[in-house]
Structure 1
Amino acid sequence: MKITQSFTSVAYPQANGQTKVVNRIIIQALKTRLQGKGKVYGSEAVLPVEIGKTSSRVESYPDDNDQSRAMELDLVEEKRDRAFIRMEAYRNRVMNSYNKRVRIRDFQVEDLVMKKFNPARNVGKLEARWEGPYKITRRVSTGSFYLEDAQGRLLKRPWTVFNLKKYYA
């Protein structure tokens, strides 16, 4: 008997290089932060702790900054309102676009309908997909109906409009 045992690695060789690159980037970011350079895009960073103390950057703000900041805060609600109006207009456009393609199927009590055939086995290509006719006896809710067959027997559960289609005699 020639039985050989071979060992394989569960590592994904293509990802090994990516892991090293990501680790290098993380280490560089940590080193930069720990060295305390404090520069963000070439200027001094303002940390939340420093907001209580004035830094040189905060001291160099123009005098009318408080007024412009107050005006920006007053306009925030107006900007939100405009964004909400744009969002509602977009939602209406999407809804109208969708509703153009929707065919409304509404049935009344006493209408004859066909129901979708749901067999336990696979249905062949040439076999019937619909069975019936059935008569609608009662509307349960929007788009849901109780049916009765030709012998007058009620079906056990309600059927939705998605599983029904009009029967033309």
Structure 2
Amino acid sequence: MMSKFQIKQHFASVEHPQSNGQAEAANKIIVNGLKKQMEKAQGDWVEHLYSVLWAYRTTVQTSTGETPFRITYGCEAMIPVEIGEPSLRKLQTLQERVNNEAIAAELDLIDEVRTTAHLRDVATKRLIVARYNRKVKHRSFEKDDLVLRRADIGNKNSREGKLAANWEGPYRIREKLGSSAYVLETLNGEALKRTWNADKLRAYYS
């Protein structure tokens, strides 16, 4: 269909979840929520998708300290019960909206809320990176060492999905470039086209 209508398709991280870690993390939360609902729904997950999405969008995120709903619309969401039976929060909100100045102030505040949420998210990611880097162990290989290569880098079989092997090989170290770059070759002596970093390799033990 793409070639028929002469459309060029380009994958970006926003539209291509395989290259977006944040999308994968959000999808994992949604899938876990659906699994809990499916225990009673007997696999009818479509009917419960909206309730799971509502719960995710109205829950305070640890990284930002705000709900996705407030960051998007500038105010907290109200549950259907509050609409049918007015709560104190709804009455106060309606009273504030009578004053146009309160509406303008709320719209001006959303930019500050988004900026604060962004800064808090960046700070959280830096803490996660620092914590991860403390546990990283430096890997070093020598010439003629046998190693395994991450399977998601090469031509991974899409039919196997998540059941595919994470590592492939073994390969032999043909040449060491610097401290963490290597040239690999097959056991038959055929060199691979590109170089590989140490974090994409692991030692092979027969």
Q: Is the TM value for this pair above 0.5?
A: no
Structure with more of its chain in helix, by fraction: 2
Q: Which structure is larger by alpha-carbon Rg, 1 or 2?
A: 1
**Structure showing greater relative contact order (alpha-carbon pairs closer than 8 Å, 6 or more residues apart):** 1
